Amino acid sequence: EDAQLEGRVDFAVHSLKDVPTVLPDGLELVAYLERADPRDAWLSSGPGLGDLPAGATVGTTSLRRIAQVLAARPDLEVKDLRGNVDTRLRKLREGAFDAILLAMAGLVRLGRADEVTEPLDARTFVPAPGQGTITLECRSDDRAVREAVAPLNHDATARAVSAERSFLATLGGGCNVPLGGHAVPADGGLELVGFVARTDGSELLRGERTGSDPVALGRGLAEDLLGRGAGAFLEG
């Protein structure tokens, strides 16, 4: 972003999941590529989430994933999993974990999707806002670049992730907090599913809402969860 503001580069390419909801003055997101598979991937020697024996170890560093795993299976043990994709897969093969969680989009892009035991349903195991989406960022006053990248924008993706990021922004969450939000087209508008949880999975607030205005939809669902006590989870 410094390089953009200083004029050393014309635009930046980001994984949207990792982009803050508040950008520096003078920069904006100007295109969203068509979304890849947004689901989380479950990888194990065979058993699914519901089939692991009590006390089995699951590897992930994501608070969102930890909360959802423990909400569904409080009898499992979640351990920190770090390293690049190859390192994480090697740790699973070597038996350091009974199962691990990764993003489907990344595995597909690396040609490793055949190693996935099960892609987890996005309505049940909710992804991070923007997961699977590549976005382009440029200077707000650079009309030439904006026009050049405009054909890359995928409108359906843009609408969906706008709802998800509005949900995230209203909650005030960052990229590694125990919350998830995922929007899909529905009845001429969008359906947004979201949750906020305690990191240990002991409490999880979930909501669903439909609407035609992505920003209002995300804000409305977030306000609903905040009204039900989600703020205390985020502060914790």
Query: Looking at the annotation, which residues are catalytic?
Result: 18
Dist CA 202 CA 233 (whole Å): 11
Torsion angle, alpha carbons of 170, 175, 177, 180, to 10: 70
Q: Give the chain's length.
A: 236
Dist CA 26 CA 141 (whole Å): 7
In terms of Cα–Cα distance, which of 92, 96, 90, 100 is closest to 120?
Answer: 100
Dist CA 82 CA 90 (whole Å): 11
In the chain, the amino acid numbered 33 is L
CA angle 61, 137, 38 (to 5 degrees): 40
CA angle 76, 78, 82 (to 5 degrees): 155
Label the pairing between strands 99-103 and 57-59: parallel
SS3 category, 199: coil
Determine which helix (DSSP H) or strand (DSSP E) holds 61, and give its type and residue range. Answer: none
In the chain, the amino acid numbered 14 is H
